[in-house]
Amino acid sequence: MSHPAVAEHLLTERRPLGAAWDKLMMWLFLGSDAMGFAALLGGYAALRFGDVNWPIPSQVLGINFTALMTFLLICSSVTMVKSLEAIQKDDRVGCWRWLFATFLGGVLFLAGQCYEYTHLIQHGVTFSSGNFAATFYCITGFHGCHVFGGVVLLGTALARVSSGTLTRHHANFIENVGLYWHFVDLVWILVFTFIYLV
């Protein structure tokens, strides 16, 4: 076997944990990234435990508005799986449409977060207002950065589908982008509960 053939064989035939290499790498990345979020939320819990001055989140934050943002992310997760489904059927137009809907969901979420931050800052809730505000901005901001990264990834995928360089044979690219996007959604579900509702 020639070297390229060996490399191809290793990449396609050896499947640790039963997954393709790129998917495995994405899962490992998401696992390590989730540990970052776990550490942030753990630190948040330590600061909050028994702090009698900790405000009731619903009295400071807009729960209904954030619930709407959560709804938006859940919708974008559905459109993301639909885009994977479309590309697996070689429906590039459908894939582009679902991807664009996901992209739009991400952009709207970021816009909502900007609106929320602006509103809070205008009402005097800044990063230095105390542990509540600092942990709020730190954790939601860290998540917002992930959403931004996801939007960039989705933009890349959109460009590739538009240019015709992404076909059903590259569906694993969309699958990996989807994994990342669902992870962003999953983390938000936890952030929404711990920061806004509890």
Partner 1 sequence: MDHAHAPAEHGHDGGHGHHGGMSYFQVFLILLVVTIAEVAVTFVPMPKSLLIITLIVMALYKAVMVAYHFMHLKFEKKTMWLVAAAPLFLGVLITIGSYPDSEKNTPPFKKGELRPYAPKPEAAPGATGRQH
Tokens of 26: 């994405």
Tell me if 135 contacts partner 1 by CB under 8 A: no
Name residue, tokens 């807009």. 62
Indicate whether 193 belongs to the interface with partner 1 (CB under 8 A).
Answer: yes
Q: What element of type H or E holds 169?
A: none
Examine residue 103 and tell whether it contacts partner 1 (CB under 8 A).
no
Based on the shown chain and the rule CB under 8 A, indicate whether residue 51 belongs to the binding site for partner 1: yes
Q: In this structure, are residues 157 and 173 in contact, taking their beta carbons and an 8 Å threshold? A: yes
Residues with Cβ within 8 Å of 180's Cβ and at least 6 positions away in sequence, in order, are 26, 30, 149, 150, 153
Out of 70, 113, 135, 140, point to the residue binding partner 1 (CB under 8 A): 70
Which among 192, 195, 153 has a CA at the least distance from the CA of 72?
192
156 binds partner 1 (CB under 8 A): no
Distance CA 88, CA 104 (A): 22
Q: Tell me: does residue 97 bind partner 1 (CB under 8 A).
A: no
User: Could you list the residues that contact partner 1 (CB under 8 A)?
Assistant: 11-12, 17-24, 27-28, 30-31, 34-35, 37-39, 41-43, 45-51, 54, 58, 63-64, 67, 70-71, 74-75, 77-78, 80-82, 85-90, 168-173, 175-176, 178-179, 182-183, 185-186, 189-190, 192-194, 197-198
